[in-house]
């Protein structure tokens, strides 16, 4: 799960980053509107936490432009308490939810879970897809009573495939989600990790498997196709 934080108050952005990290989410933070929009348009994020008052472009404009470009990533707007009309305006422009600042960690995490649950079967720290379960608390891949530990990279890659099960994910998108934009990720590394994951799926006896869509990318299939 990769979350984008667009928030110009660095202290708040850092605080959110810490909270997300403790919960096992990977996040990137950007501090101005234009950069925020650029990052959202990559489609590499599973969720966006978007401040309203930002230098460059404001949060409403960002969500409006992202939706106009066909980006359907869930967006939770972060609004100041005084801006009551923000809520309605944000939702009108295509935001999915809003959170009034200041908020506590529990409230933030509850809202995040509520948004991502719509695309995947996420209960507490586990995600299920087809016959496999992935646990973010210990990076274990499980099928029935068999389990195997994954590395952080393997975990992030499989999580991304499970959240989007059945959907073909382009190679570049997986690379961006797993390695981010600043780190080195390439097609060779991607293929290496895909083969590690296939071995581990086989080890636990999963019917679910990582399928190759030639020339495009990969998807998680249930084993029945
Ligand atoms: Ca702000």
Per-residue pLDDT averaged across 183-200, rounded?
Answer: 90
The lowest-confidence range among 18-32, 75-89, 128-142 is 75-89
pLDDT score at 81: 62
CA of 102 to the centre of ligand 1 (A): 12
CA of 59 to the centre of ligand 1 (A): 9
pLDDT score at 23: 85
CB-hemisphere CA count at 13 Å for 54? Answer: 29
Q: Distance (Å, rounded) from C-alpha 99 to C-alpha 17? A: 16
pLDDT score at 72: 85
CA of 56 to the centre of ligand 1 (A): 11
Q: Give the predicted TM-score (pTM) of the model.
A: 0.65
78-112 pLDDT, tens per residue?
987 666 666 677 777 888 888 888 888 999 999 99
CA of 39 to the centre of ligand 1 (A): 17
CA 207 to chain centre: 25
CA of 16 to the centre of ligand 1 (A): 14
CA of 147 to the centre of ligand 1 (A): 44
Of the two residues 89 and 151, the one the predictor is more confident about is: 151
């Amino acid at each position: 799960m990769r979350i984008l934080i667009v928030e110009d108050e660095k202290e708040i952005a850092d605080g959110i980053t810490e909270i997300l990290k403790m919960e096992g989410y990977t996040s990137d933070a950007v501090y101005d509107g234009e950069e925020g929009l650029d990052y959202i348009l990559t489609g590499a994020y599973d969720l966006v936490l978007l401040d309203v008052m930002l230098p460059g472009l404001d949060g409403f404009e960002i969500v409006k432009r992202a939706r106009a470009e066909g980006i359907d990533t869930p967006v939770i707007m972060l609004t100041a308490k005084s801006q009551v009309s923000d809520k309605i305006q944000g939702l009108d422009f295509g935001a999915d939810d809003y959170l009034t600042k200041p908020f506590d960690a529990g409230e933030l995490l509850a809202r995040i879970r509520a948004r991502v649950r719509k695309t995947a079967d996420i209960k507490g720290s586990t995600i299920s897809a087809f016959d496999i379960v992935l646990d973010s608390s210990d990076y274990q891949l499980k099928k029935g009573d068999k389990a195997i530990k994954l590395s952080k990279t393997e975990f992030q890659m499989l999580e991304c495939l499970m959240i989007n099960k059945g959907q073909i994910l382009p190679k570049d998108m997986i690379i961006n989600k797993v390695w981010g934009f600043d780190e080195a990720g390439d097609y060779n590394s991607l293929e290496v990790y895909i083969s590690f994951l296939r071995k581990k799926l086989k080890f636990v006896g999963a019917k679910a498997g990582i399928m190759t869509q030639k020339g495009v990318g990969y998807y998680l299939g249930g084993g029945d196709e």
